[in-house]
Amino acid sequence: MGRAKKVVLAYSGGVDTSVCIPYLMNEWGVEEVITLAADLGQGDELEPIRKKALDSGASVSLVADVTETFVKEYGFPAIQANALYENRYPLSTALARPLIAKLLVEAAQEYGADAIAHGCTGKGNDQVRFDVAIGALNPSLKILAPAREWGFSREQTIEYGEKYGIPAPVTKKSPYSIDRNLLGMAIEAGVLEDPYAEPPEEVYQMTKAISDTPNEPEYVEIGFEKGLPVSLNGQAIDPVALVTQLNQITGNHGIGRIDMIENRLVGIKSREIYETPALLVLIQAHRDLESLTLTADVTQYKRGIEQTYSQLVYNGLWFSPLKGALDGFIANTQERVTGTVRVKLFKGSATVVGRKSDQSLYSLDWATYGEEDVFDHKAAEGFIYIWGLPTRLWSQQT
Ligand code: ARG
């Protein structure tokens, strides 16, 4: 008796996920492996990947182009949530996992599979995100993670694959572990494992080095409707095109690099390099527009919600009751977050230099120091007297 009969495997086309195919069949007695590769705008050619799965022993090789769903249903809600894990990482990798898990579960149901498999090792966050999301969507499916158990070194993995006709990678493997999609890149390993070592320029693919960026600033105008980015420089634009173009424009100014020590859910600290040019600028602009259109208490309360939201997403709880409840809160706050934000891009920094909205709560009549002032200055005295009363009483008491 094998561990499962029919398995849907999350497939990337790399050596590890390819080796999972014969491994599942020969070591774990799986009868049939169906692979699923997701196109999340990572820029890989999918046809060779589709074919490679079949060559590696898959009975069916599925490719799902979900870039638009990814941006609209995972990226944009995270922008509304101003989601930054540990105040820095905009979750580009973490957001992709629940979507892939959903596709895997749907495929398993369609093909009558009894298990889902993925190539994650036991040290990362992605295994958590896959396992938890799959369990939330269909608790009856088994989850198999060969790389969590096989204990192969890289050489052993390649050797195992060669036994089953999986060719060793022809190009010298990059020393880095890279995850990429339209929202960003995550880069680990190699020299980056020394947290004191500056990342070599070669790790960056989406952003220019400051020495190569334009010597003149560039401005972009991002239009939002109910908290969703809908236009760029005055032109209505669909989500995928918006992110693609904004990655290009902001990356060209060297914007979007992150170098951080991050706390993984499994307890270890890791050094991560990210490139998320568009996503970071969109969050920055969105947050600024909220400052103009939301009341003080909602803005401030939401900042706490955002932190919880970011942690939930990072920790694999996309499909969870608390996440659903926070979504409700966030959606409610976005009703009036409509307007335009002007951002200046120059030498690695994006600076919001203007914002406007028909729903603005900023009122010149109230804010001005000029003649138009309507603020009743005398009212301030009584307000301050009462506001400060608790501290006066406290001081009087000895
Ligand atoms: N640490 C990031 C996260 O947990 C990214 C991990 C992506 N994997 C990689 N091979 N770089 O979301």
327 is a catalytic site residue:
no
* Total number of residues shown for the chain: 398
Q: Considering 65, 174, 177, 392, which one is annotated as catalytic?
A: 177
357 is a catalytic site residue:
no
SS3 state of residue 328: helix
Burial 290-310 (b: 16+ CB within 10 A, else e): bebbbeeebbeebeebbbebb
pLDDT at residue 255, as a whole number: 98
pLDDT at residue 363, as a whole number: 84
SS3 state of residue 313: helix
pLDDT band, residue 313 (cuts 50/70/90): very high
Shortest-distance Cα residue to atom 4 of ligand 1: 125
Q: pLDDT by residue (tens digit) across 114-161?
A: 999 999 999 999 999 999 999 999 999 999 999 999 999 888 999 999
Written as one letter, the residue type at 320 is S
Distance CA 259, CA 188 (A): 10
Collect all residues with Cβ–Cβ distance below 8 Å to 26 and sequence separation of at least 6. Answer: 164
Q: How many Cβ atoms sit within 10 Å of the Cβ of residue 12?
A: 19
pLDDT at residue 398, as a whole number: 79
C-beta of residue 101 within 8 angstroms of C-beta of residue 126: no
Q: pLDDT by residue (tens digit) across 31-56?
A: 999 999 999 999 888 999 999 999 99
- Provide the strand spans (E) within the chain: 6-10, 32-39, 60-65, 115-117, 142-144, 177-181, 184-188, 218-225, 228-232, 235-236, 257-263, 269-275, 339-346, 349-356
Candidates 3.40.950.10, 3.30.930.10, 3.40.190.10, 3.40.50.620; correct CATH number of 6-164?
Answer: 3.40.50.620
Answer yes or no: is the C-beta of 273 below 6 A from any ligand 1 atom.
no
pLDDT at residue 172, as a whole number: 64
CATH topology for 177-294+336-356 is Argininosuccinate synthetase, chain A, domain 2 (3.90.1260)
Q: Which atom of ligand 1 is nearest to the CA of 85?
A: 12
Task: Average the pLDDT over 238-255 and give the result.
Answer: 98
C-beta of residue 345 within 8 angstroms of C-beta of residue 249: yes
Answer yes or no: is the C-beta of 295 below 6 A from any ligand 1 atom.
no
Answer yes or no: is the C-beta of 291 below 6 A from any ligand 1 atom.
no
pLDDT band, residue 173 (cuts 50/70/90): low
What's the whole-number average pLDDT of the chain?
A: 96
C-beta of residue 107 within 8 angstroms of C-beta of residue 34: yes
The DSSP code for 201 is: G
C-beta of residue 64 within 8 angstroms of C-beta of residue 99: no
- Is the pLDDT at 98 greater than 90? The verdict is yes
